[in-house]
Structure 1
Amino acid sequence: MNLRPDPTFHATPKLAMAAPVETLAFTLMLSPDGAQPDGLAVVDVDPKSKSYGQIVHSLFMPNTGDEFHHFGWNACSSALSPLTGHAFLERRYLIIPGIRSSRIYVIDVKEPLKAKIHKIIEPEEVFEKTGYSRPHTIHCGPEGIYVSTLGGGGKDGTDGPPGIFIMDCETFEILGRYEMDRGIQDKHYDFWWNLPRDYMVSSEWGLPPQFENGIVAEDLLSNKYGHKIHFWDLRGRRNIQTIDLGENHQMALEIRPAHDPAKQHGFCGVVVDTTNLQGAIFTWWRNDDGSFEAKKTITIDPQPASADDLPELLKGFGAVPPLVTDIDLSLDDKFLYVACWGTGEMHQYDVSDPMKPNLAGKVEIGGIVNKTKHPNGKEFGYGPQMVEISRDGKRVYWTNSLYSTWDDQFYPGDRGGAMVMANAAPAGGLDLDKAFWVEFPKGYRSHQIRLEGGDCSTDSFCYPNT
């Protein structure tokens, strides 16, 4: 235990923005066919370094078939909550779940270039203590580590609804389920919260049979994927309200609340509108009486395309949907980044007025039809996917793989993992860094990114900006 709070913990988003910039990034590597063990890549992101844009350390797991997807820290700025007894934790461990195996790895990165496995939690323990499977999103809370899941019990993960469980942030023991009363919530994906206001928001993707072997076209066209967001009494651990975004708004994924806890709004990305193939962003907010509302504030149109240029799944539509698969919000709550994995675009929206977003910048790279190359001339095999923003808001990193079986449906053939970075102008605008290009080992794809010292989809703040 430290004698004072970890210097990477910050009371407010504004203080975090002024902290030293990142020099390393941690990126997940997955073997899509399970032939090789998944791994963690440590990437040099210091432009002054001779190894800038290169993998400077790799750690591979002792098992195969995990499918690394999302991951997170054992502790972050939420530890500074006045209600916690964990203010002296250290941001030292990365919690990496295998979305296919339901196995969880705890990785010690105190010395990033000597990263090592600290603990492995086998799937049987997850099943026994929670009744859940397919662990997905990790958030470090004031009193423990919260883990969302995509599956319930049973072999196919449909024996009961998925949900959230909590791990001890010091021993990494699984404590048990989060929910005391889930209401009508029966699917899960992402979640996040406003700690001082004591509420949480969660979203929905689909159940394991709907995603593990690829997208199920019949379920999509029948609007059977998730389309609701759920609001929770955080400490009471109960669902207090559910908003249906409309059954045509299929796959409500990332939840991004404002970082400043004085603000009571946030955003949710929707993969596709089945009536017109648009991607969408909804803004949600809390009223003075404590109730919540949501409104569609961004739509992104599909791009017309010849059937000859489309994968089998899309040939009948004559267009490429944007496929909004990730969003991220800068720490100053000014810019929302939207990954359009299908069309090969990264959009930057000025959301200073969250009800009236404006497109401020855009980068084209990859894409099902466009196949736009990186400025260095290299092929970006899929489309912009997991996006991460530096604390100061000046650099935006992203990778290109969505999920192995979905990659293969929308982008047939193995196209390799890649990670890029764009410089963001203070007033808006994006420019890809020609010198930053991370290639991953043969046979691997890349997914989520975490930045040294925290980033914009990791930390929760307990105090308002001044």
Structure 2
Amino acid sequence: MVNVQRGLLLGAALMAPAMADETCMSPYMAKIVGQEDVLYVWTLGVEGIGDGEDKLVTVDVNPDSDRFGQVIHQVSVGGRNEAHHSGFTDDRRYLWASGLDSSKIFIFDVHSDPAKPRLHKVIEDFVKASGGVVGPHTNYALPGRMMLTGLSNDRDHGGQTGMVEYSNQGDYVATHWMPKEGALNGANKTGQFADGYGYDVRVLPRRNAMFTSSFTGWNNYMMGLGKMMADPEAMKQFGNTVVVWDLHTRQPKTILDVPGAPLELRCAWGAQNNYCFTTTALTSKLWLIYEQDGKWQAQAVADIGDASKIPLPVDISISADDNHLWVNTWNDGLTRLFDISDPFAPKQVLSEKIGGQVNMVSQSWDGERLYYSSSLLANWDKTEGEDLQYVKGYRWDGKALEQTFSLDFHQAELGSPHQMRMGAFALYGQRPDSPSGSPTVSR
């Protein structure tokens, strides 16, 4: 077993006891210090519910506000695009939110009035500009750039795809194709697979490393879940790799076998903790991607529930001190907490039912608050049962979760909530109507 040393958190700002924000954010982004004011929820439109359109919903999450736990704003984008993931630019002035089905990218201005974001720009030529990438997934901030992973391609709508780089202004910069058999692009294939699939992206700048995971293509994620799982050929069309890239040159360096469809990547924050975690959707395992003697390796380190019951791990969130990892399992609606103080031997220490299904989790950097949302994909979401489409807030005292609010998005005629991002008024100057005790900001 490699000796993974504990390290100091990145930068003096990360040592501040009042640090809030989300632990999954890019290290290049401006950070929220103190209590977040709002939660931006990228929400799928549902036919027959409200206007039926995808929308960005703003929820007040400052407990000092008289609007705490309430929807204070919404802006629809026109039509249904399979609203999925979103991410801020490094200066945090704009929120990019993408549609898996339409491949449109909606850029929201969140700095002019952070309580009332407005639609600033729509990128409609993503597929053409990128040379055939389909289904923008992760929107990830780099210095002056946004890196978007794709889920598919326009040739066969399978899983082979690439990453697409844009300027913060929304101008196309470059396409970086995932390495695959016959086109490794200089990458070292270390195991059985070189599938060219894509899903999530994260970076460790101090190691000049960028990581991508893999999932499946448009054909599968637009198919009903039951139909897909009953189709042997469809079930073969899932990724089995994590790729390590040179962050500066954007060149793939190492292809690691991570069988079972690796999803979200979360990298450690400690200055000497050179590792990231991911989960596999089909095999329900927690994997460690780690560096040893200058080489990157992958190892399954824990089971997540009973794989035979198909819990379907989805979103994960690492704590700022690298000691804990929250893991959501969509199918049983559970959130699970793992002690990862020894990253090679994670131990589950808690599980709690959040709803009839659960997808995303956003954890504040001080570890005291968690937010959960429910929707996975329009064609995969459950349609029968209780407590299916919600956003919920919780306090965490290190021992137990205490619910602070719950919003039923279908009852409110908003749609199905997918990803959440935290916002703060003081990032852009104090708002006159914001509550007292608003946060300050550090870089």
8 Å contact from structure 2 (residues 220, 234) kept in 1: no
8 Å contact from structure 1 (residues 210, 219) kept in 2: no
Aligned-partner SS, 1:402: coil
The one of 398, 403, 413 aligned to 2:372: 398
Structure 2 equivalent of residue 286 of structure 1: 291
Report deviation, 1:413: 7.4
Structure 2 equivalent of residue 46 of structure 1: 62
Aligned-partner SS, 2:84: coil
Q: What is the letter of the counterpart of residue 120 of structure 2? A: H
Structure 2 equivalent of residue 29 of structure 1: 43
Structure 2 CA distance for aligned equivalents of residues 58 and 42 of structure 1: 6
Which structure: greater strand fraction? 2
2:144 paired with 1:139: no
1:410-421 matched pairs, under 5 angstroms: 411-412=383-384, 417-421=389-393
Q: What is the letter of the counterpart of residue 270 of structure 2? A: D
Aligned-partner SS, 1:269: strand
8 Å contact from structure 1 (residues 422, 430) kept in 2: no
Structure 1 equivalent of residue 361 of structure 2: 387
Gaps of 5+ in 2: 1-9, 20-32, 185-193, 426-442
Report deviation, 1:431: 1.4
CA distance 1:287–1:93, change in 2 (3 Å): same
Q: What is the letter of the counterpart of residue 241 of structure 2? A: K
Structure 2 CA distance for aligned equivalents of residues 17 and 64 of structure 1: 40
Structure 2 CA distance for aligned equivalents of residues 113 and 228 of structure 1: 40
Query: Could you report, residue by residue, the CA deviation over 1:20-58 in whole angstroms, capped at 9, with x for unpaired residues?
Result: 121211111111449722101111111222211111111
Structure 2 CA distance for aligned equivalents of residues 17 and 241 of structure 1: 38
Structure 1 CA distance for aligned equivalents of residues 68 and 178 of structure 2: 47
2:417 paired with 1:446: yes
Report deviation, 1:115: 1.2
Aligned-partner SS, 1:205: coil
% same residue? 27
Report deviation, 1:293: 1.5
Q: What is the letter of the counterpart of residue 49 of structure 1? A: S
Q: What is the letter of the counterpart of residue 442 of structure 1? A: E
CA distance 1:13–1:127, change in 2 (3 Å): farther
CA distance 1:320–1:180, change in 2 (3 Å): closer
Structure 2 CA distance for aligned equivalents of residues 112 and 100 of structure 1: 28
Structure 2 equivalent of residue 172 of structure 1: 170
CA distance 1:68–1:120, change in 2 (3 Å): same
Structure 2 CA distance for aligned equivalents of residues 114 and 347 of structure 1: 33
Aligned-partner SS, 1:296: strand
Aligned-partner SS, 2:381: helix
1:44-443 matched pairs, under 5 angstroms: 44-61=60-77, 63-75=78-90, 90-110=91-111, 111-122=113-124, 124-154=125-155, 157-158=157-158, 161-169=160-168, 171-179=169-177, 183=184, 184-215=194-225, 216-217=228-229, 218-219=231-232, 223-246=236-259, 250-273=260-283, 279-288=284-293, 290-302=294-306, 320-366=309-355, 382-408=356-382, 411-412=383-384, 417-425=389-397, 428-433=398-403, 435-440=404-409, 441-442=412-413
Q: What is the letter of the counterpart of residue 369 of structure 2? A: R
8 Å contact from structure 2 (residues 45, 53) kept in 1: yes
8 Å contact from structure 1 (residues 360, 429) kept in 2: no
Report deviation, 1:174: 1.5
Aligned-partner SS, 2:367: coil
Structure 2 CA distance for aligned equivalents of residues 415 and 438 of structure 1: 10
Aligned-partner SS, 1:196: helix
Q: What is the letter of the counterpart of residue 251 of structure 1? A: A
Structure 2 CA distance for aligned equivalents of residues 198 and 283 of structure 1: 18
Report deviation, 1:283: 1.2
CA distance 1:12–1:201, change in 2 (3 Å): farther
Structure 2 CA distance for aligned equivalents of residues 394 and 118 of structure 1: 33
Gaps of 5+ in 1: 1-8, 76-89, 274-278, 304-318, 367-381, 455-462
Structure 2 CA distance for aligned equivalents of residues 126 and 15 of structure 1: 42
Report deviation, 1:181: 6.1
CA distance 1:453–1:138, change in 2 (3 Å): farther
- Cα RMSD (Å) of the superposition? 2.6
8 Å contact from structure 2 (residues 313, 327) kept in 1: yes
After alignment, is 95-104 or 356-365 more displaced?
356-365
Structure 2 equivalent of residue 310 of structure 1: none
CA distance 1:64–1:16, change in 2 (3 Å): farther
Q: What is the letter of the counterpart of residue 359 of structure 1? A: Q
Q: State the TM-score, normalized to the length of structure 2.
A: 0.80
Aligned-partner SS, 2:262: strand
CA distance 1:150–1:17, change in 2 (3 Å): farther
Q: What is the letter of the counterpart of residue 119 of structure 2? A: I
Structure 2 CA distance for aligned equivalents of residues 11 and 68 of structure 1: 36
Structure 2 CA distance for aligned equivalents of residues 422 and 341 of structure 1: 18
Aligned-partner SS, 1:407: coil
8 Å contact from structure 1 (residues 126, 174) kept in 2: no
Q: What is the letter of the counterpart of residue 70 of structure 2? A: Q
Q: What is the letter of the counterpart of residue 290 of structure 2? A: W
Structure 1 CA distance for aligned equivalents of residues 79 and 12 of structure 2: 40
8 Å contact from structure 1 (residues 10, 16) kept in 2: no
Aligned-partner SS, 1:451: strand
Q: State the TM-score, normalized to the length of structure 1.
A: 0.76
Structure 1 CA distance for aligned equivalents of residues 72 and 357 of structure 2: 25
8 Å contact from structure 2 (residues 126, 133) kept in 1: no
